Amino acid sequence: SQTQAQALLKGLNENQGRAVSYGDGPLLIIAGAGSGKTRVLTYRIAYLLAQKKANPWNILALTFTNKAAAEMRERIQKLIGPPASKLWMGTFHSIFSRILRIEAEKLGFTSSFSIYDSDDSERSVKAIIKEMGLDPREVKPRDIRFRISGAKNQLVSPHEFQEKFVRSSMDDIAGQVFPIYQTRLRQSNAMDFDDLLTLPSELFEQHPEVLEKYQDYFRYLLIDEYQDTNHAQYKVAKMLAAKYENITVVGDDAQSIYSFRGADISNILNFKSDYPNAAQIPLEQNYRSTQAILKCADSIIKQNKHQLDKTLWTQNDKGDPVTLLESFDEYDEANRVAGKLHELKLKRGYTNNDCAILYRTNYQSRVYEDVLRRKGINYQLVGGISFYQRKEIKDVIAYLRLLVNPNDEEALLRVINEPSRGIGDKSLQNLVQFARKQQVTIWDAFEQADQVVSHGPARRSMKAFKAVIDECRDLMTDDETSLVDVTRKLLESTGYVKQFVEENTHESLTRRENVMELINAIAQHEEARPDADLSTFLQEISLYSDTDSYDENQPAVTLMTVHAAKGLEFPVVFVVGLEEELFPIGGRNGEEADFEEERRLFYVAITRAEKDLFFSFAKQRTRFGESKRMARSRFLDEVDPAVVRTETGATIRQKDGFGSSFSSGGYNVEYDRRLAPQNRYQQKTASPAAAPSGGRTRPKPQAPKASYDGVTYDIQSPDDLA
Ligand code: ATP
Ligand code: MG
C-alpha cells in the first residue's frame, strides 16, 4: 500500500529515497563501496511491490551470487511480506538456466539437458585433443577451454573464432576444437556454464516472439554489481529491457574485479549511451566504515588512472588507524593474526563472526586453518573444496545425470567403470569410436555393442550397465516412487555404495557417509519444492557456488578470498599476504600483471571493513614448495601514511615515490621497488636519510629478531638467503 511504500523511505537518505521511488525508465547508480547500492535495489523492489506497480513474478533481480539473491529475498520478505517468495531473483546463470529449461526445445535441446561443470568441459576438450592426435601434455585442455570460454563470453561463434581470433598456434588449435566441442555438447544434450549465458541471446535472436514474451513478463529488471557483467550477460539484459526500459543497474567501476572472467567495465560506463534517457543518481554517504578506513580506501583507488571520480563521506566515527602487521613467514603471520583475534575478543568484545581474514589466493587458507584449529578458534572456510566437488559426490551426481539424460556423455564416461565393471579401455575405445563414426551418442551405441565390442565379458557388462540405468529410469518416471527411493535403488543395483562397505577403511566409510548426506540433500529438496524432480535438484546443485556456503550466523571467523567477499561487510577485517607477486599477484605466463585490477581488488578488500582493519605481510613465504623472500606490497607504499600504523604504533613512512621505509619491532627495513624483488629488502643501518644503495654491497646488517610459534629466531639477511 502507499503507506507501506512511504514507510520504506524512512530508512533511507535523500538520494537513496529518490532512487527507490524513481518511476519507470532506465536508472543508473554508480557509487562507492558501502553507500547503500544493494540496499537501494532491495528497497526499490519492496517499493514496487508496495505500490502494486508489479506482481512479484514480473520483477527480475540479478545478483552476483545465489547467496546474495537469497539474502535480498529475505530482506524484502521482512519489509513487505510473503509475496517476496514469488520474485525472480538469482544469478544470471540460475535465472537463465530456468528460462532455458522452459525453452529448451526451441534450441534443439530437451528440458532435461545436463549442465557440464568445468571438469566435464575440460574432459570433453581433452578427449577431442587426443582424437586430433595431439598430446594433452603439450596442448593443455585447460588452456584450450579457457580460450573457448573467453570466446563464448564475447558471443563469438566457432566460425567467427576461426576467422578472426586466431593469433597463435594455441588459438589455432582452440579454433579447431571449439566447433567439435559444441557439437559434442549438443549431442550430449548438455550445456556448459558459458552456454547458460550465451544460449539465451541465441534464443531471443532466433525467436523474437519468445523474447517478447519475456519482455512482457519481466516488466522490471534490476541488476546488482553491474560492473562485473560480461558481454553475454550485458546483451541478454539489454534485450530483455528493450521493450519497456525499466532497467535499474547499480555498481561501482572501482570494484570491477572479474575481468579475467570476461567482465567488461564498459557495460556500466556506457549505460547512458545505451539508454540516452537514463537517470543517474549519485550515492555519496557511506554507512559501513570509519573515516580512517574510507580515507585509506580512497588513497589507494585514486592511484588508478582509469577510475571515475566519486565522492564518499561518512558520519561514522573517525575510527582507529589501520594496523600493519609484519611477520617473518606465513606461520608467524597466521599466529600474529590469531593473537590479534584473541586480543580483539578480550579487550574489545568482538566475537568470532565479527571477523574476516581475506586473502588473494585460495591456497593461503591452509596455514590459517592449521593455526586457528590449533588455537581452538572457530572458523568457517568459504571456497576451498566444497562437498559437491568430492569424488564420490560427483560420481553419484553423474549417475543421476545419466538417469535424467542418458545422452550425457561426460556423466556416462565418468561412471561406466565406477565401480569397476571390467570394461577395459580397449572395449570402451571401440564403442566410442563407433559412436563418433555413426554420429550417435555412446548411449545409443550400447545397442550395437554386439557388433562393436569383441570382448565377451566387457560386452555383457555394458549390457548389464545399460539395463540397470534403464530400470532406474523407469522407476523415476513412476510418480509413486520418491527421488530418494530412486537414488537408493540406483546405488544398490550399481553396487556403488557396496564397494565402500567392502573396502571398510576409514576413508571408504567417510565416502559412504558423504553419499548418505547427498541422499539427505535430495530428501530436503523433495520436501522444499512441490515441483521437485531430479532435474530441478541437479540444476540447483550444479549452479551452487563456493560462496553460497557462507553463513554469517555461524560463531566463526570467516576465511575467504577477496573475490568471494565482494558485497559483504565485517566489523573486523584482516587483509593478509600483502606482498609483491601475491597481492598484487604476478602476471600469468610471463604477462604483465594487471595492477589496476589488483588495486581495485585491494579497494574491495579494504572497504569490507566496518570498524577495524589490519594489513599484514610476511617477509618470507613457502610458495610452490620453496621458501621465498617476499617484498612487501607496493600497495602499502601507496596508502595514505596518516591512516596506517605499525603494531608498535609507529607511522609508516614513504619515500620519493619509489621506496619506503618503516620502523617497527626495533629494526628498520628499507624497501626499494626499483630493485629486483629478491633484493628489495635491505636492513637499514644508518639514519632514515641514508639513500638505498641499490647494489649488493650494502653493509652487513644486524640480524633482527622475529617470533615464530613463541620462539624467537634470528632473521637471516637477504644476502645470506640469496
Ligand atoms: P558495496 O559496494 O560493498 O556492494 P553497497 O553500496 O551495496 O556496498 P550496502 O551493502 O547496500 O552498500 O550498504 C552498506 C551498509 O550500510 C549496509 O549495512 C546497509 O544496511 C547500510 N546502509 C545503507 N544505507 C543506509 C541508511 N540509509 N541507513 C542506515 N544504514 C544504511
Ligand atoms: Mg552491494
pLDDT at 263 exceeding the cut of 70:
yes
Planar angle of CA 664, 668, 671, nearest 5 degrees = 110
- Burial of residue 116 (CB within 10 Å: 0-12, 13-18, 19+) is buried
Mean pLDDT of the chain: 86
* Atom nearest to 607 CA in ligand 1: 3
> Does residue 34 have a known ligand-binding role?
yes
C-alpha cell of residue 236: 541478454
Nearest to 372 by CA among 390, 356, 350, 349: 356
Mean pLDDT over 421-441 rounds to 88
Q: Going along 134-234, which residue ranges are E strands?
A: 190-192, 220-223
Confidence of residue 390 (pLDDT cuts 50, 70, 90): confident
Protein residue whose Cα sits closest to atom 30 of ligand 1 = 287
Comparison of pLDDT for 519 and 713, the residue scoring more: 519
Centre a 10 Å sphere on the Cβ of residue 696 and count the other Cβ atoms it contains: 11
Catalytic residue among 16, 65, 255, 547: 255
3-class SS letters over 325-355: EEECCHHHHHHHHHHHHHHHHHHHCCCHHHE
If one residue of 16, 38, 248, 608 were mutated to test the ligand 1 pocket, choosing by the most ligand atoms within 8 A of its CB, it would be 38
Nearest to 353 by CA among 93, 554, 521: 554
Q: Do 66 and 37 form a contact (C-beta atoms < 8 A)?
A: no
pLDDT at 665 exceeding the cut of 60:
no
C-alpha cell of residue 495: 553396487
Comparison of pLDDT for 681 and 561, the residue scoring more: 561
C-alpha cell of residue 541: 546443485
Centre a 10 Å sphere on the Cβ of residue 374 and count the other Cβ atoms it contains: 12
Top-confidence range, 114-118, 161-165, 258-262, 545-549: 114-118
Residue 616 host element (H or E): strand 609-618
3-class secondary-structure state, position 408: coil
- Ligand 1, CB within 6 Å, residue ranges: 11-13, 16, 33-39, 252, 255, 287-288, 567, 569, 607
69 alpha carbon – ligand 1 mean position (Å): 16
8-state DSSP, 566: T
Catalytic residue among 120, 122, 195, 224: 224
> Does residue 38 have a known ligand-binding role?
yes
3-class secondary-structure state, position 563: helix
pLDDT at 700 exceeding the cut of 60:
no
Query: How many CA within 13 A on the CB side of residue 500?
Result: 18
Protein residue whose Cα sits closest to atom 1 of ligand 1 = 33
Residue 235 host element (H or E): helix 231-241
Task: Please state, in angstroms and rounded to a whole number, the distance separating the CA atoms of residues 533 and 535.
Answer: 5
8-state DSSP, 27: E
> Does residue 628 have a known ligand-binding role?
no
Task: Please state, in angstroms and rounded to a whole number, the distance separating the CA atoms of residues 640 and 653.
Answer: 10
Mean pLDDT over 345-374 rounds to 93
Percent of the chain residues topping a pLDDT of 90: 63
Confidence of residue 586 (pLDDT cuts 50, 70, 90): confident
Residue 154 host element (H or E): none
Task: Please state, in angstroms and rounded to a whole number, the distance separating the CA atoms of residues 430 and 459.
Answer: 11
Q: At what angle do helices 456-477 and 391-404 cross, to 10 degrees?
A: 70
> Does residue 37 have a known ligand-binding role?
yes
Mean pLDDT over 421-432 rounds to 87
10 is catalytic: no
**Which residues are placed with Cβ below 5 angstroms of ligand 2, an ion?**
37-38, 567
Task: Please state, in angstroms and rounded to a whole number, the distance separating the CA atoms of residues 459 and 422.
Answer: 10
Query: Measured on CA atoms in the order 680, 685, 688, 693, is the torsion positive or negative?
Result: negative
Task: Please state, in angstroms and rounded to a whole number, the distance separating the CA atoms of residues 685 and 671.
Answer: 13
Q: What would the pLDDT profile of 304-355 be if each residue is shown by its tens digit?
A: 998 888 889 999 999 999 999 999 999 999 999 999 999 999 999 999 999 9
Among 52-61, 380-389, 437-446, the range scoring the smallest mean pLDDT is: 380-389
Q: Do 250 and 223 form a contact (C-beta atoms < 8 A)?
A: yes
> Does residue 112 have a known ligand-binding role?
no
657 alpha carbon – ligand 2 mean position (Å): 33
Task: Please state, in angstroms and rounded to a whole number, the distance separating the CA atoms of residues 384 and 389.
Answer: 10
Cell 589496476, located at residue: 596
494 is catalytic: no
- Length of the chain equals 722
Is the overall model pTM greater than 0.90, yes or no? no
Residues in contact with 449: Cβ distance below 8 Å, sequence separation at least 6, in sequence order? 431, 459, 462, 463
If one residue of 72, 223, 227, 287 were mutated to test the ligand 1 pocket, choosing by the most ligand atoms within 8 A of its CB, it would be 287
Task: Please state, in angstroms and rounded to a whole number, the distance separating the CA atoms of residues 499 and 566.
Answer: 42
End-to-end CA distance of the chain: 72
Among 94-108, 525-539, 699-713, the range scoring the smallest mean pLDDT is: 699-713
pLDDT at 685 exceeding the cut of 60:
no
3-class secondary-structure state, position 185: helix
> Does residue 622 have a known ligand-binding role?
no
Among 181-195, 507-521, 633-647, the range scoring the smallest mean pLDDT is: 507-521
Nearest to 498 by CA among 507, 487, 508, 483: 508
55 alpha carbon – ligand 2 mean position (Å): 24
Task: Please state, in angstroms and rounded to a whole number, the distance separating the CA atoms of residues 590 and 576.
Answer: 25
Task: Please state, in angstroms and rounded to a whole number, the distance separating the CA atoms of residues 43 and 283.
Answer: 15
What is the complex's ipTM, to 2 decimals?
0.99
3-class secondary-structure state, position 116: strand
233 is catalytic: no
Catalytic residue among 67, 340, 608, 632: 608
pLDDT at 702 exceeding the cut of 70:
no
Q: What would the pLDDT profile of 516-560 be if each residue is shown by its tens digit?
A: 888 988 888 888 888 888 988 998 888 877 677 778 888 899 999
Q: Do 583 and 633 form a contact (C-beta atoms < 8 A)?
A: yes
Q: Is 134 left (phi over 0), alpha (psi -120 to 50) or beta?
A: beta
653 is catalytic: no
* Atom nearest to 40 CA in ligand 1: 11
Confidence of residue 654 (pLDDT cuts 50, 70, 90): low
What pLDDT sits at residue 404? 94
